[in-house]
Amino acid sequence: MAKHLVIVESPAKQRTISKYLGRDYLVKASVGHVRDLPRKDLGVDIENGFRPTYVIVPGKEKIIQEIAQAAAQCEMIYLATDPDREGEAIAWHVSEAANLDAAKLRRITFYQVTKRAVQEALSQPRGLDWNLIQAQQARRVLDRLVGYQISPLLSRAIRKGWATRKPLSAGRVQSVALRLVVEREREIMAFVPEEYWTLEAELQRRTEAKERFRAHLHRIAGAKPKISSREEMDALLPLLSKATFVVTEVKKGQRTRRPSPPFITSTLQAEAGRKLHFSARQTMRLAQQLYEGIDLDGERVGLITYMRTDSTNVAPEAQAEARRYIAQEWGEDFLPSRPPRYRSRAALAQEAHEAIRPTSVFRTPESVRPHLTAQQARLYELIWRRFLASQMKPALYATMRVDILAGDDYLFRATGQSLLFKGFLVVYSPDMEEDQEAPVMLPELQEGEALDLLQLIPEQHFTQPPPRYSEPTLIRELEANGVGRPSTYATIVSIIQERGYVVKQQRQLVPTALGMLVCDVLVDTFADIMDVGYTASMEERLDKIAAGQLEYLAMLREFYEGFRRELEAAKARLQEAVKQALWAGLPEDLKQRTCPKCGRPLELRISEKGRFLGCTGYPECNYILDLSDPHNPKEPEEEDEFAEGEICELCGGRMKIIRRGRMVFLGCENYPKCKNTRPFLSERIKKLAAETACPQCGYKPLEPRSGRYGEYLRCPKCQVNFSLAKLGLGGKQKATVETVDIACPECGHRPMEKRVGRYGPYYRCPACKKNFSEKKMAAFLGGIEALKEQES
């Protein structure tokens, strides 16, 4: 019987740690949270110190029972959940839910799942950190107070005008993220491009080699050039074509390029999105797998340190190991005189935590690749290279700047550089392409040297609007503004997409009409909650609770005092705010429109596609006026498709072809007065029914029918059904196969097979035999556009 019980969060970590410990240890997994606030109720007693009411997470009863039984038979219980606030809170919830003996309880933490780290943690147990638990509890209570009190108000206010009738939600952090996306979109919409021109001169030396180079127009009469039209450029070119070009200054120097710090959560998500095209959630899922343990030739080991961190701190032993590896592979010249230290951005970053790094740099990407999936291998290599580069010397460049005077007033400038020492660039390039550091060389020019003008190269440009956010850049913006924390970034950017407020187009986040409406209404009614600075200050207060510098109750009382006032005011103001937001930017004459079909008034509504005017007589009258472009309303085109020769047997109306996802059926055109429907039958099944006799009684013709498994025939005399395959008339259509150069999301095998089956296109891996729908494959690659690019 085991003497000690170790409780972790995930089954993967359970399997890894079980192999490190002997028979005296039993390892159990809580499988995440075991207690939470109730789903259907607020679960917070506001009047009695904001006391939360916790319930067992559905489905976790058996896990708690097993932990309680194991704990009763053990001498010591080690709570080994993740080393952050969330992990501390889970450890406390497990102890409370399973009613564990406090005298036996010990808390241990480790930032890498290796045998040495686990054994060191067991030798240094501590008690539960109530400050961390209170900080996590305060965050949970704050989010519940905001979400569960604003969301119902928002849903009721907007739902009447929202065509899809889905419930809406608001959140303390998600709504701020939505506001950033919406405001960026508004900046883009309001942007007016301005024309400007640049000018380069191609010059040649009067030497035997006749070296050529280019210089750009840098100053006109000492001022920055502002050329805003072709006419201005055309007036300038004749003057310069006759001018004498003379070198007035040659300045040589050196420039260092320092490596970036090792990854923290936000920078890992950003770089994985930029270089690997992974979503934030996908990056964190893969990082979790690398952290919890991978089987390497019979040994299960965690490959990276804990992946939810805002600290760039690195353990001295990890730096020492990295220096040994660097000296071994590239020599002492690539080592700085002492290990570098990087300053964390977050004011209250926990320096006891570490940056994200490999648990051993001697586990190279090449050595572990056979044991990883393709996605795991790519992410591990990114982390490994970034960490190793952070411990190396900067790159060194020789620079050269040349000023060239044309006439008396026009100063041209040329710059060049050459790489003197690669430094960290031998292992990691921060640029998207490896050749970004290609040197731009200039000839050895001398002051006073006259040059020949070969040609002038004018180029027209237009100012560009700010780019839309992508997942990585939105996370970077949230971090820069102090909104959210490492454990929440992936959830924030995912939830605004799941709610239908934001969609991803070519890896860019674009707000929907619904998202813009929700944002406008919340900004109007809950100014504090939607304020970036206010939300950041709340994060700082949570950090202070974790550090023991602020009391849980004092913080929540201060917050709720202002929030309660906003909540009461919003109840009276919300409907008017929705009306104003809906009509914002629309011409006034639209308010007077009536339905051209039936004369009833039109009401303004919104769907995922945008705003529209719909007839108040719906469903009897289904007229709509599309307002996606407010200044160019579009009448709907007739889209009804009638089945030839099909008449409703109840009222004599024509039968329309109705498509609802995979279902196709016939419906009467007089709906809702006549609700007659029947299956849609192909011409092939009708023909087969007319030509085929019943194999049992010989009756002919048979009845064509359609069911959940496709079309079939039925004998009206003996009441027997026959599939087409049973009649020898052909069954399922054989899937067509096409080879596409896409890696399998499961095992990384390339290429995959694209097939067309009963429900449309899908992808099959010939190695692991897994099938992926077109939607799942597009999500893996970052969108349907990315999928089409890969296929082509």
Distances (CA, A) of 702 to 80, 423, 515, 715, 719: 68, 80, 53, 5, 10
Bridge partners of 764?
753, 771
What does the CA dihedral 260, 264, 269, 271 come to, rounded to 10 degrees?
Answer: 10
Distances (CA, A) of 484 to 97, 478, 481, 490: 28, 7, 9, 10
Residue 235: φ, ψ to 5° = -75, -25
Give residues with Cβ within 8 angstroms of 492, minimum separation 6.
Answer: 173, 174, 177, 475, 478, 484
End-to-end CA distance of the chain: 60
Helix axes 471-480, 174-190, angle to 10 degrees: 110
* Cα–Cα–Cα angle for 14, 17, 19, rounded to 5 degrees: 110
Cβ–Cβ under 8 Å, residues 623 and 595: yes
**306, 397, 501, 762: the active-site residue:** 306
User: What is the rounded distance in angstroms from the CA atom of residue 19 to the CA atom of residue 135?
Assistant: 33
Which pair of structure tokens corresponds to residue 477?
Answer: 């913006």
* Cα–Cα–Cα angle for 671, 677, 678, rounded to 5 degrees: 160
Cβ–Cβ under 8 Å, residues 445 and 250: yes
User: What is the rounded distance in angstroms from the CA atom of residue 519 to the CA atom of residue 505?
Assistant: 20
- HSE-up (13 A, CA, CB side) for residue 290: 34
Taking alpha carbons only, the member of 471, 301, 303, 322 closest to residue 379 is 303
Peptide bond into 672 cis (omega under 30): yes
Cβ–Cβ under 8 Å, residues 471 and 493: yes
Q: What is the DSSP letter of 423?
A: G
Cβ–Cβ under 8 Å, residues 767 and 744: yes
* Cα–Cα–Cα angle for 71, 74, 75, rounded to 5 degrees: 120
Q: Is 306 in the active site?
A: yes
3 state SS for 278-306: CCHHHHHHHHHHHHHCEEECCEEECCEEC
Residue 184: φ, ψ to 5° = -65, -40
Q: What is the DSSP letter of 637?
A: P
C-alpha dihedral sign at 491, 495, 501, 507: positive
- Give DSSP secondary structure letters for 728-768: TS--SPPPEEEEE----TTT--SSEEEEEETTEEEEE-TTT
How many C-beta atoms lie closer than 10 Å to residue 384's C-beta? 22
Amino acid at 331: G
C-alpha dihedral sign at 59, 62, 66, 72: positive
Cβ–Cβ under 8 Å, residues 327 and 335: yes
Taking alpha carbons only, the member of 700, 652, 660 closest to residue 680 is 660
The residue assigned the tokens 């003497």 is 3
Which pair of structure tokens corresponds to residue 634?
Answer: 């579009």
Strands 624-626 and 642-647: unpaired
User: What is the rounded distance in angstroms from the CA atom of residue 53 to the CA atom of residue 44?
Assistant: 6
Where in the sequence numbering do the catalytic residues fall? Answer: 306
